[in-house]
Every structure is written in C-alpha cells, then in structure tokens.
Structure 1
Amino acid sequence: MQSLLQTCPARLGLLGNPSDGYEGQVLACTFTDFQAEVCAQPAEQWSLQAGRPEAWKGDLRALWRALEGGQLREGAALLAAALRVLKPLVEQQAASLALSLQSSIPRQVGLSGSSAILIATLDLLNRNWRLEIEPLDVAALAWRAETEVLGIAAGPQDRVIQALGGLLRMDFSRPWPPRVERLDPFQLPALFLAWDPNPGQSSGVVHDRIRQRWQQGEPKVRAVMASLAELAPAGVDCLRQGDDAAFRRLVDRNFDLRASIWTISDRDRSMVELGRNHGAAVKFAGSGGAVVVFPQREDDLPRLMDHYRQAGFGCLRPRLEIPKGKEVES
C-alpha cells in the first residue's frame, strides 16, 4: 500500500438548521476553502497523530482502551472513533496504519470541523480497504462515531452533506435514510462567510439543553423546530423561482426563530446585527461562532466584508463545492 490522502470540506447551514436533529429539514452546502485532511501510511503498529509532534501508538486493544478511557483528545479521539465504528472490519486487517490529521477548518465556530474529520477518515478507510460503503452509509457511521462513541449531541445533517457534498435539501422527518435532493449551488444569492477567530463552545454543549426540552415535549421548542423545518422547502422554492429577496427573508426568519429558544452570546449577536444594520440577511452557519451573510446586492459584498474585517472577524466568499460521482435521488 502507498500513502493515501483524503479530504473533506467544511459545511454552511443555509436554512432550517438546527431542526435536522429534531426530525426537521435543512438546506446546506459544502465549501472548499476550509477542509480536513487525513493521511494513511503503512506502519508496524497503529498510530494516530493530530496536530501534535507526538503520536499515540499501540495495538488495537490498547487503542480501544484509550478511546473508552477518555485518554485521547480532540483530533486523535475522532480518528479513533472512526475506526471504532468499523471495529470488526478494522480487526480483520493484517496491516497496521499510521493515521495523521490536519485541518484548516476554524474550531468551534459551527463549520462542521469534527464531522469533516470523521468523514475524511471513513472515506479513506473505505478506499484503502475497498469496502464499497455508500456515501449515506458513511454518513450514518460518522454520526454513530460522534453520538454513540464520543457521546456528542449532534444532528445528522453535517455527516450527510459532507458525505455527499454540494448543495442539498435534506429531510429527516422519517427514519433513516433521509430524503435528499441535490440542487444547483449557482442558484444561491450572493453570500459570504464571517467567523469569530476566538473559538466558542462545542456544538454538542449548545444542543444539550434544547434537546432535553424537546424530549420533554415542551410546546414552544416543538413549535420552533416545526417552523424551522418549513424554511428549507420554502427556500428551495425561492431558488427555483429566482426570488432572492424572499430567500433572504427566510434567512432572517431562521435566526429569529433560533434566538427565541436559544441563548445567543453578545459576540454572536454582534455578528448578526452588523450585517443586518447594513441591509443584509444573516444567520448562523452552524451552532454559533460563524454567520452566513446575504447582502441585498452582490455589489455590496466588498464593502460589507470590510465592515466585518474591521470588527475583528474572519471573512471570505466561499468556493462552493461541485461534487462529482456522488449522485442522489431527487
């Protein structure tokens, strides 16, 4: 075996999130400016290296113990969790691997950095061992790795959009697999991404409290999630009709619904209000820490991006991914 390299891009939540974790629908896309990169090389024993000079090394039994005992941190834990959901297949392999990870995705700003690592790792193992696992099954494995192995509260959309790529409407109102519709990213209105360079808190922490209220059947939380879910199909209609103004109204509605049940930090709210004060529609790209901004006119992009930079935020116009060879049924 030669060295193998696999990447997975970051994700933008456009409409409906976070209703995906609550039997809802979402519209999201992947973009290639930020990505996770996992490399595999043949080795005498298993090793995991994630951004630090030293790597974890040992046999598989030691790896499972380290994972279950909480001895692995951050990227190494994600690499190990991807292996753990494939445990029977991993243990059948005669050769050990040295897995290494690099990621340019800003941490804890809601751009799906953790799931990108899981998808990249699972895709790499899928290629290396010729497992022929379908993309939606890769997404399900990544979701299990995050929720069951690592105990992180997470909705399914990140794994699905990153396994398939592009611009997708995803409907999670029925049991797995979700209904997925591929759309043309060139139909989206002009947009850009802004993020806080100072990391926030894990998306799992953000979701824990609301999930408990949802499970208890709290009427307000249930009603907000139902309203959020309606935004995704409405947004698809706007794209097909070329109604950018209506799409932007849905974007603002998304944030307002979210803010009605979630506590929004002052820093996150300032990112939203900065764009709104200049006539743009703004919502979180994920669970907070980054926003996707839709100005009224494409000509407004440079000026508005400058305002965000002057306020100390990172800023870019994302290169939306156009995937190949990952078809889904409409």
Structure 2
Amino acid sequence: MDNAIIETSAYARAGLLGNPTDGYFGKTISIIIRNFGARILLYPSPELHIEAQEQDVNIFRNIYHLVDSVKLTGYYGGSRLIKAAIKKFGEYCEAEQIKLPNKNFTVRYHSSIPRQVGLAGSSAILTATMRALMKFYEVNIPQEILPSIILSAEVDELGINAGLQDRVAQVYEGCVYMDFNKEGMKEKGYGNYERIDPSLLPNLYLAYKTDLSKVSGAVFNNVKARFEKGDEEVIQTIEEIANLADEGKKAILQKDYDKLNKLIDRNFDLRCKIMNISDSNMELVETARRCGASAKFTGSGGSIIGIYKNDEVLNKLVIELKKINARVVKPYTV
C-alpha cells in the first residue's frame, strides 16, 4: 500500500427532482452521470505536491485565450479544490484525534465534467480527493458525514454557494433520495439519505450547452435573501418543489413514468416563479419540450434532464438541440 498509486473517481451529478431546495431544508432526488467524471491519482513522494493542470497554469497564448479561460474556469483552476479538501481532511482527523503517519504524496487530477453547466464538477474533484486521502492514510470517514465535510470545503474555505445535494449524490452514487429536514440537520448535521434502485428509472436524456459560461450559484443569491427574510412566495414555492421529490420517489418505485414526466416539468415551472432564467437556458428547456420530452435543470442552469418516450423523440432531441449548440447524451447511472 505504501508505494501503490491510488486512483479514485467521482462522477457528474444531475438533480432529477426537488432542486434547488437542498439549500433550504428541502428534499431532492439526484442521479450520478457516469458519462463524465473527475479522477484523482495520488502516490507517495518526499514532499506534498499538488500537480498543476492546464487550467491551473498562468501562461496564455494571448489575451483572448486568457479571457476564455477565466470565463470557463474562473480565476483559479482545480488545485484550490484539492487544497481545500486536504485542509478539511486534516482538520477532521485532528478533531477526531486520528494521528496521521508522517508520509507525503503527490496528487494530480483530471476532469471530463463539462464546466459551468450545473453538473457538479467542483464537488466531484473534492469527493475524489477525499476518497484518495482516505485510502492513502487508511482513515474511514462515515458515509453520511463525508458530504458535509466536502460541502464545508466549498462553502467555508472557497466561498462557493452550494447545498448538500451534489456531494450526497457523489458519495452515495446511483440514484439517491435526500431529505434535508431542518430538525434532523440541526441535530445530526446531515439529512436522511435513501438509495433508489437505478434500474427503476425510465428513459432519461441529458443535454448541456457547449457554449455557455456562467458562475454556478449566482442565480441563487436573490432567492436565498428572500427566503431568509421570510418571503411568502419563495417559502411556499420552495416547499412545493421539495414535495415533488416525495411524489417522484413514489412514481419511480411504482414505475409511473407519466406522473414522473409531469413532475419534472412542474419542477422547472415552479423554479421560474421565483428565479430569473436566462434566454439561453429557457431556449434549452423549450426546445426539448417541443420535441416531446420533459425538461428541467440538472443544477443551476446550463444543462437539462428529462424523460423521452422513444428513440424517435431522442433523435429529435439530438437534432433540434444541436441547432442551439447543445449536446445530448444518454446518462449512465450504474
């Protein structure tokens, strides 16, 4: 084990129902998209070394290359995520009085998750890093606690606006129902997480814009402020969106795909009541719906998920969405 190369992964995540209520003590159902992932390689070395990847290097071909790079990955690449994960791992071990052996490592990462389209690329890098550190130091962090540690790395260390949903899905994998009940969260620090058999899921498609750059989390700011001020419309709408996850869980277990189809559309329509949706994002949803599929955001915008009835609808989705610079994939969850 001491000289072994450790390789770990974490996959993209798509919110199926209930998002964005995870940040408001709500309920969600999420699935893992194994088509895209973040991979960590970690191996022993004399000093602790985080290898810089292309997006971490401050050398650009010209001014336009710099502009494009910042639009896509922000002012920092993935190394800050790895640094935050290592810090939180160290603090957890300290708090739990786990003495770590005196050994160092080199860590490098690679991610195929499309950036800035709401597929949880940042938390995938963090999750994969945590898994690698746990293996390297032979430390077991309980599964229900791990998502909260990953979230604190993003929120407390890096100031990223996020909820627990992504990290829970990436830690548990497959299809997961999550209840972030306020009392339970305050008492335990985590929600109730329940796996749903992914083989019960209907025909799902995922589509994402290939030319959309946005900062994930930016759309939540106004809603959060209104929620905290006790805005009736926001509170009621958030509650209604959260309840869709309960209805969706029943629909999946009963294979009532017509009901699930309607719930997915309803989720997005309710979101529109309290959030501003950009023209580019609205075009994504409306194009998919015109093809005969349901559609909602997988996260904060830039990609959508929904049900398609047959191959004819899927082919139509591929053709029509390509016209607006969106790529369609069939998500693999298992």
Please report the TM-score for the alignment, with normalisation by the length of structure 2. Answer: 0.87
| Structure 2 CA distance for partners of 1:53 and 1:8, relative to 1, 3 Å | closer
Instruction: Say whether the 8 Å CA contact 1:82–1:122 is kept in structure 2.
Output: yes
2:86 maps to a residue whose letter is: L
Match of 2:180 among 130, 150, 172: 172
Superposed CA RMSD = 1.9
Count of residue pairs brought into register by the alignment: 306
SS at match of 1:281: coil
Instruction: Say whether the 8 Å CA contact 1:47–1:55 is kept in structure 2.
Output: no
1:73 aligns with 2:86: no
1:2-13 matched pairs, under 5 angstroms: 2-13=4-15
Q: What is the rounded CA distance, in whole Å, between the counterparts of 1:73 and 1:128 in structure 2?
A: 26
Name 1:146's counterpart in structure 2: 154
1:137 aligns with 2:145: yes
Name 1:24's counterpart in structure 2: 26
1:320 maps to a residue whose letter is: T
SS at match of 1:203: coil
SS at match of 2:138: coil
Name 2:63's counterpart in structure 1: none
SS at match of 2:295: strand
Instruction: Say whether the 8 Å CA contact 2:318–2:327 is kept in structure 1.
Output: no
Q: What is the rounded CA distance, in whole Å, between the counterparts of 1:232 and 1:156 in structure 2?
A: 15
Further displaced range: 296-305 or 231-240? 296-305
Q: What is the rounded CA distance, in whole Å, between the counterparts of 1:53 and 1:293 in structure 2?
A: 31
1:128 aligns with 2:131: no
Name 1:212's counterpart in structure 2: 225
| Structure 2 CA distance for partners of 1:313 and 1:121, relative to 1, 3 Å | same
Name 1:231's counterpart in structure 2: 244
Match of 2:266 among 241, 245, 253: 253
Q: Deviations over 1:211-265 (max 9, x none)?
A: 1211111111111110010000101111122211111110010001111111111
SS at match of 1:163: helix
SS at match of 2:149: helix
Instruction: Say whether the 8 Å CA contact 1:13–1:26 is kept in structure 2.
Output: yes
Q: Deviations over 1:178-233 (max 9, x none)?
A: 11121111222211110011243222322222212111111111111100100001
Instruction: Say whether the 8 Å CA contact 1:50–1:102 is kept in structure 2.
Output: no
Please report the TM-score for the alignment, with normalisation by the length of structure 1. Answer: 0.88
| Structure 2 CA distance for partners of 1:185 and 1:50, relative to 1, 3 Å | farther
SS at match of 1:213: helix
Name 2:62's counterpart in structure 1: none
Name 2:90's counterpart in structure 1: 87
**Residue 48 of structure 1: how far off its partner (Å):** 1.3
Further displaced range: 38-47 or 123-132? 38-47
SS at match of 2:274: coil
Q: What is the rounded CA distance, in whole Å, between the counterparts of 2:284 and 2:33 in structure 1?
A: 20
Match of 2:195 among 182, 187, 192: 182
**Residue 298 of structure 1: how far off its partner (Å):** 5.0
SS at match of 1:102: strand
| Structure 2 CA distance for partners of 1:80 and 1:260, relative to 1, 3 Å | same
1:32-71 matched pairs, under 5 angstroms: 32-52=34-54
| Structure 2 CA distance for partners of 1:225 and 1:166, relative to 1, 3 Å | same
Percent identity between matched residues is: 33
| Structure 2 CA distance for partners of 1:189 and 1:53, relative to 1, 3 Å | closer
Q: What is the rounded CA distance, in whole Å, between the counterparts of 1:80 and 1:204 in structure 2?
A: 21
1:82 maps to a residue whose letter is: A
Match of 1:116 among 124, 130, 133: 124
1:102 maps to a residue whose letter is: H
Match of 1:289 among 293, 298, 302: 302
Instruction: Say whether the 8 Å CA contact 2:308–2:314 is kept in structure 1.
Output: yes
